[in-house]
Amino acid sequence: MGAGMAGRVLTAGFPLAVYNRNPEKTAPFAKAGAFVARTPRDAAARADIIISMLADDNASRAVWLDKDTGALAAAAPGTWLVESSTASVQWIHELAVAAKHRQCELLDAPVTGSKPQAAAGELLFLVGGSAEALAAVRPVLVVMSRDVLHLGPLGSGATLKLVNNFLCGVQAASLAEAMALLNASGLDKEKSIAVLTAGAPGSPLLKILTTRAAANDFTPNFALRLMAKDLTYAREEGARRGIAMNTATPAITDFEKAIAAGYGDKDFSAVIPALQKP
């Protein structure tokens, strides 16, 4: 995701500094003229806008706040910070407090879409934070996106992204269970899937997941372990707000079973074969 986003920024002519924990992934950007930083701090020291796209709260915390290499310590006062990772709402607010101490302002701006959309500049940014901050960073977000949606105060983007992925994850888990039942029943799989995808259950996501399963193609666009993480964050946010996310727990169980079976780094559609009986 980050590579596709950075590629769009560079192609649009913005001066760009990049950092990745795996230096090999930065090689194409070096060839294209970007500055390749050795640490997040080195990248941040050169930037007016800092954008992160990371796996989870722990990775985000390390990149922003590590005492030796963290980006925030090098951010000049007035720098705009954009957290595009799918993170917990609690972490977003914690990071915002740290940013304020540096006289910087944070936007939470996670995205919908996956690797193909990132590369094509067709992401949808879900933004929480001030209108002033968004106006400052919008020219950069626009080159990576089909739209930039301002949802409200800080944390709004993270909240909607968790709701979005909660719905996707629960649907994927229910499809995996349904496919297991179809297989166990002996029904014709192709005919059964045709009925499901053409009928009321046939959402765009269900069609994508069944197509990938039929092709046995689980090349990751969105890693299964990350969906388990997002479902967990959504459940935690629900609990914080007094909402019982009852369908999240069995979905998390299904994804954890798939991770234990070795599917964690495959696309989250791999929850389907993970739940099939041998």
Confidence of residue 62 (pLDDT cuts 50, 70, 90): very high
101 and 22 in one domain? yes
Q: Average the pLDDT over 94-107 and give the result.
A: 98
Q: What mean pLDDT, rounded, does the chain reach? A: 97
In sequence order, the β-bridge partners of residue 18 are 36
Bigger pLDDT: 278 or 128? Answer: 128
The yes-or-no verdict on residue 215 having pLDDT over 80 is yes
137 and 40 in one domain? yes
> Is 113 in contact with 124 (CB distance < 8 Å)?
yes
Phi-psi region of 83 (alpha: psi -120 to 50; beta: other; left: phi over 0): beta
Catalytic residue among 67, 115, 161, 229: 161
Confidence of residue 70 (pLDDT cuts 50, 70, 90): very high
133 and 73 in one domain? yes
Exposure of 6 by Cβ count < 10 A (0-12 exposed, 13-18 middle, 19+ buried)? Answer: buried
Q: Tell me whether residue 67 is one of the annotated catalytic residues.
A: no
φ/ψ of residue 111, rounded to 5: -130, 155
**Tally of structural domains, the chain:** 2
Neighbouring CB atoms inside 10 A of 171's CB total 17
Task: Quote the CA–CA distance of 81 and 83 in Å, as a whole number.
Answer: 7
Q: Where a domain ends, among 133, 153, 173?
A: 153
Q: Average the pLDDT over 107-128 and give the result.
A: 97
Regarding pTM above 0.85, the answer is: yes
Axis-axis angle for helices 57-65, 89-101 (nearest 10)? 10
Return the percentage of the chain with pLDDT > 70, whole number: 100
Structure confidence at residue 105 (pLDDT): 98
Neighbouring CB atoms inside 10 A of 152's CB total 12
Structure confidence at residue 278 (pLDDT): 75
Instruction: Give tens-digit pLDDT for 221-241.
Output: 999 999 999 999 999 999 999
179 and 142 in one domain? no
Structure confidence at residue 264 (pLDDT): 98
Q: Average the pLDDT over 19-29 and give the result.
A: 93
The yes-or-no verdict on residue 85 having pLDDT over 90 is yes
CATH number for the domain including 225? 1.10.1040.10
Structure confidence at residue 186 (pLDDT): 95
The yes-or-no verdict on residue 3 having pLDDT over 90 is yes
Instruction: Give tens-digit pLDDT for 171-202.
Output: 999 999 999 999 999 999 999 999 999 999 99
CATH number for the domain including 30? 3.40.50.720
Write out the DSSP string of the chain.
-HHHHHHHHHHTT---EE--SSGGGGHHHHHTT-EE-SSHHHHHTT-SEEEE--SSHHHHHHHHH-TTT-SGGGPPTT-EEEE-S---HHHHHHHHHHHHHTT-EEEE--EE--HHHHHHT-EEEEEES-HHHHHHHHHHHHTTEEEEEEEESTTHHHHHHHHHHHHHHHHHHHHHHHHHHHHHHT--HHHHHHHHHHSTT--HHHHHHHHHHHHT----SSBHHHHHHHHHHHHHHHHHTT---TTHHHHHHHHHHHHHTT-TTSBGGGHHHHTS--
Confidence of residue 277 (pLDDT cuts 50, 70, 90): confident
125 and 24 in one domain? yes
167 and 55 in one domain? no
Which residues form the domain of 65?
2-153
> Is 40 in contact with 70 (CB distance < 8 Å)?
yes
140 and 204 in one domain? no
